[in-house]
Amino acid sequence: MKRIALPAGWAPVPLDEGYLNLVGPLYAQRAGDGSYRIAFRAGEAHLNRYGVVHGGMLATLADVAIGMNLARVTEAVETTLTLNLALDFIDASGSGDWIEARVSLIKRAGRVRFGDCELCVGERVIARGHATFYAPRPGA
């Protein structure tokens, strides 16, 4: 795997799922508010035929970022399953861009949870997302 120069304070997210191993690596940083920011460095494999980062990759980033934050609202990491994900694409990004998901949680507790995120290249917002997740009862 090609070595990627990371901004300060970022560490690789351990990937244990088949699909995420195909699109990663992803990186995480703990923000000042306790949330996790998730990011990746866009490469040629992330681009569509028009030379911009594929919307499916951006949707994956939003899904992982919101889900990871909703799964970690308590000390014990909980299972969270995506019920719905909506994304509005605002601007394009390309190879070499550091694309970061910044998450805000709307409803953190209960079986059904909600979160929003902005996908950014620097301070430029390239997409906004909203997701609904389900947290099944342990052992269910």
CATH topology of domain 11-134: Thiol Ester Dehydrase; Chain A (3.10.129)
The confidence score (pLDDT) of residue 45 equals: 94
Parallel, antiparallel or unpaired: strands 36-41 and 27-30: antiparallel
The confidence score (pLDDT) of residue 138 equals: 67
Residues of the chain below pLDDT 70: 1-4, 138-140
The confidence score (pLDDT) of residue 24 equals: 81
Residue spans of the domains in the chain: they are 11-134
